[in-house]
Amino acid sequence: MELYKFLPQTNCKKCGKTCMAFALELLQGKVKISDCTPLIEETKYKEKYEALKELLGSEEGIEKELHIDIDEDLCDGCGICVTCCPVNARYCPPTLSGKAPDVPHDKHQLFEVKDGKCVLLNLEHCRRLEADGRERECHVCEIYCPREAIKILYI
């Protein structure tokens, strides 16, 4: 978590959470930099504040939404994302042995391969939105896709 480095890291809880949780929500666009009052008020954090503003760019404060983008041209339907996504692994037993999940799909299932290409079925149950703690930082689909067809974005 790069953003964490630029927070006071005191866990003062003035924002209602820990610095780590704050950093995560900052990444997801759920909170604004200014919600961390010590960062703005205390001059010793001025450098960090400036760096953070720089890092997040001009969109500071605008609500950002999670997107998982699949590049159809790159995808060859290998199904690795279907198998490796931990949510699929939990709710679609066939994926444990690398098999295609059942159709109609479980409501939690995130990816499926249809007509030779990967399709994103839903986002609601993605760990980045539903899980707690470190699991919220999940990005296995993005790192494991051998074609680099998957991008996790906040827009």
Partner 1 sequence: MERIPCTGCSLLCDDVLIGTDGIFIDKIYGACLKGKERFDQLAAKNRLTSPMIRKNGKLENVSWDVALERIKQILTDSSKPLLYGFSTSSCEAQLKGITLARKISGFIDSNSIICQGKALNVAKETGMTLTTLTEIINKTDLIILWGSNAAESIPRLLNKILFSRGKFRMTGREIKTIIIIDPVKTASFGVMQIRDVALHIEHGKDLELIRVLKEECCKEGNFPEKEVAGIDKEEFKRLLLNLVGAENGVIFVGQGILRTQSDDNVIRELLELVQIINARQEKGRMSLALLGGHYNMVGFEQVALSITGKNHSLQFSDNKLIETKDTIITKIEKDDFDSSIIVGTDPISHFPFSLSKNMASKPIICIDNRKSATSDIADVILPSAITGIECDGLAYRFDHVPIQLKKVLNPPSGVSTDEEILNQIIQKLDVS
Q: Which residues bind partner 1 (CB under 8 A)?
A: 75-80, 82-84, 89, 94-103, 112-117, 143-148
To partner 1, the closest distance from the beta carbon of 120 in angstroms equals 15
Q: Report CA Rg, the chain.
A: 18
Query: C-alpha distances in angstroms, 1 versus 4, 116, 118, 132, 152?
Result: 6, 35, 29, 15, 15
70 binds ligand SF4 (CB under 6 A): yes
* Residue in this structure with the two tokens 């010590």, named with its chain if needed: 38
Residue 87, H or E segment: helix 86-91
Q: Which does 149 bind (CB under 5 to 8 A by kind): ligand SF4, partner 1, none?
A: ligand SF4
Identify whether the C-beta of residue 30 lies closer than 8 Å to the C-beta of residue 20: no
Calpha distance 17→138 (Å, rounded): 20
123: tokens are 């986002």
Q: Which does 19 bind (CB under 5 to 8 A by kind): partner 1, ligand SF4, none?
A: ligand SF4
127 binds ligand SF4 (CB under 6 A): yes
To ligand SF4, the closest distance from the beta carbon of 101 in angstroms equals 13
39 binds ligand SF4 (CB under 6 A): yes
Per the rule left: phi > 0, alpha: psi between -120 and 50, beta: everything else, 119 is: beta
12 binds ligand SF4 (CB under 6 A): yes
To partner 1, the closest distance from the beta carbon of 10 in angstroms equals 33
Residues in the site for ligand SF4, rule: CB under 6 A? 7-8, 10-15, 18-19, 22, 36, 38-39, 68, 70, 75-81, 85-87, 110, 113, 118, 126-128, 138-141, 145, 147, 149-150
